Amino acid sequence: MGRSRVQGKHAGLTREQVLEAAVRLADRDGVEALSMRKLARELDVEAMTLYHHVQNKQGLEDAIVEHVLAESLGWPPESGAWQEVVAGYAHDLHRGLARHPGAVLLFATRPAITPRSLAILETLVRLLREAGFPARTALHLVYAVAGAVVGLHLGYAGDQNREPAAVADLAGEDLPVLADALADGPVTMESRLDFTLTALIAGFETLLPADGRRLSPR
């Protein structure tokens, strides 16, 4: 019954298929429900088979992050107003995470140190330096923006996910200011992103050495 597989037969499974199924499963059921055995079942294969395409579960998770990252982040433009480049980068990341909620927690727990993300980081920092930021400040800036985006999604990815919207219900008469703040409806992810991004970019601008040494050195 049902058990119709045969030892040794090649099922033609590829690493790409494994990753796609893993992302699908994590998005559908939540990352905490992602197990090697369930993933294998999904692919109509035995669990141990997966270990030929992935080193272990941790390796699978790393690969998921890389996969989603590659799908989300294009190459930043080599030139342009830094404010827009940074905002574009943030929005790309945001859209990627929105499309793959199952990957959010993995993003949060893994430093992005693949060659690809480092190269993107390099490009961004170079652009910011050309805009007048000291290199170190530029690095801080990118970290702050990336952290804000991931942090934003975390708040909405918590499992059963009574997101901040639920605060509205809880904010009874004893929390009048909160109730007032939520009177216009719940705080959406988009509005939080826009707000945080605006504030961060405005804040960065005040940190920029006043002259803007890009073209005219004085």
Partner DNA sequence: ATGCTAGTCTTACGCCGTAAGTGAGGTCAA
Partner DNA sequence: TTGACCTCACTTACGGCGTAAGACTAGCAT
| Residues in Cβ contact with 46 at an 8 Å cutoff, skipping those fewer than 6 apart | 5, 40
Locate tokens 């927690």: which residue?
105
| Residues in Cβ contact with 67 at an 8 Å cutoff, skipping those fewer than 6 apart | 19, 20, 23
The residue from 13, 73, 98, 200 that contacts its own copies (CB under 8 A) is: 200
**One symbol per residue from 137 to 176: x for binding its own copies (CB under 8 A), - otherwise; what is it?**
xxxxx-xx--xx-xxx-xx-xxx--xxx-xx--xx---x-
Task: State the Cα torsion 24-58-52-70 to the nearest 10°.
Answer: 50
Listing DSSP states for 107-156 in one string gives HHHS---SHHHHHHHHHHHHHHHHTT--HHHHHHHHHHHHHHHHHHHHHH
| Interacting residues with its own copies between 98 and 137 (CB under 8 A) | 105, 108-111, 113, 118-119, 121-122, 125-126, 129, 135-137
Q: And the tokens for 92?
A: 């790309």
Work out whether 35 is an interface residue with DNA (CB under 7 A).
yes
| Interacting residues with its own copies between 13 and 72 (CB under 8 A) | none
**One symbol per residue from 50 to 89: x for binding DNA (CB under 7 A), - otherwise; what is it?**
-xxx--xxx-------------------------------
Q: What residues make contact with its own copies under the rule CB under 8 A?
A: 105, 108-111, 113, 118-119, 121-122, 125-126, 129, 135-141, 143-144, 147-148, 150-152, 154-155, 157-159, 162-164, 166-167, 170-171, 175, 177-178, 180-182, 184, 187, 191-192, 195-196, 198-204, 206-207
